[in-house]
Chains A and B, each alone.
Chain A
Amino acid sequence: MSDIAERVKKIVVEHLSVDEDKVVESASFIDDLGADSLDTVELVMAFEEEFGIEIPDDAAESIQTVGDAIKFITENS
């Protein structure tokens, strides 16, 4: 697994207080990991901080799953 994927998953585990084995690439933040809209905003801000990138609002909206986040960050960092 890539370094980015590891770091993304670590952030998700910490922020949502979920089991590590549930944080798979197909997992939806809201449907599978119990996030609410505020959690998703917090996650996006945490990703921005961790990877030193800016995630515009329209891109943030398209980030629904752990895999979406890893893909976006890989392509933009």
Chain B
Amino acid sequence: MFDLTGKRALVTGASGGIGGAIARALHGAGATVGLSGTRVAPLEALAAELGERAHALPCDLTKDADLAELPRRAAEAMGGVDILVNNAGLTRDNLMMRMSDEDWELVLRVNLTAAFKLSRAVLRGMMKARWGRIVNVTSVVGVTGNAGQANYAASKAGLTGMSKSLAQEVASRGITVNCIAPGFIETAMTEVLNDAVRERTLAAIPAGRMGTPEEIAAAALYLASPEAAYVTGQTLNVNGGMAMI
């Protein structure tokens, strides 16, 4: 149904579960994909699995130089960027009273500032092309908050506000900016949760199960597609009914 033939997508955090699934989905719809991520081996494995139209772009978004270089490297590899998926994210959980400045700043830098800089860098080409898609992966906790995740929740709420502002600025140029807010998804990020937390979380999810990365990728594919041209500044909540907002 969704055809992205000829479109070039840069996906950050592509060495992780959700990012990898998003890259697969966009690639499956015909897009050329640039795979950014910190872990080189999974990135190259994914690029090899996808074959043609896939480029591994190892990048550590905590490093300013890497971040500044990424848009140029993506444009060189693919000829431009039509779709940007800001999916890279990390957590440094702690109760706020015990949260260090470093853990606050690191989470904000990767989850929010990197998305700002990458979006700004790709906008020029999208403005010229009069077409573009920016999809930001946020989180249910950006709206609900979560004890132990003040930094993470702040970064995701910030990303939502940034998206809505940018969406208003560039809507007249055929560029949409949207968010996907996953709930609890089976990834390395949620694997570390202990059984008690897992039990409690599942009890709060009407669907009675965790989501899969593919279910997030399906939302990304829709938002990146030509069919979603009239959807902008929105958040698509994919959370099994965990929060109905």
Q: Does B172 lie at the interface of the complex (its beta carbon under 8 Å from any beta carbon of A)?
A: yes
Q: Report how far A42 CA is from B130 CA in the complex, Å.
A: 12
Per-residue A-contact encoding for B159-172, CB less than 8 Å = 1, 0 else: 00000000001101
A45/B124 in contact, CB under 8 A: yes
Residues of B within 8 A of A38 (CB): 127, 169-170, 172-173
Please, which residues of chain B bring their CB within 8 A of the CB of A42? 127
Nearest CB on A from B48, distance (A)? 37
Tell me the count of chain B residues lying within 8 A, CB to CB, of chain A.
6
Interface presence of A36 (CB below 8 A): yes
CB neighbours (8 Å) of A45 from chain B are 124
Give min CB distance, B81 to chain A, whole Å.
17
A-side binding surface: helix, strand, loop or mixed?
Answer: helix
**Interface residue range, chain A:** under 10
In this complex, the member of A36, A38, A45 whose beta carbon has the largest number of chain B beta carbons within 10 angstroms is A38
Kindly list chain A residues whose C-beta atoms are within 8 Å of the C-beta of B172.
36, 38
Which A residues are CB-close (under 8 A) to B173? 38
Inter-chain CA distance A66–B134, complex, in Å, is 33
B171 CB to nearest A CB, Å: 10
Taking CB as reference atom, which chain A residue is nearest B127? A42
Quick one: which of B120-147 are within 8 Å of A by CB?
124, 127
Q: What are some 8 contacts across the A-B interface (CB < 8 A)?
A: A36-B172, A38-B127, A38-B169, A38-B170, A38-B172, A38-B173, A42-B127, A45-B124
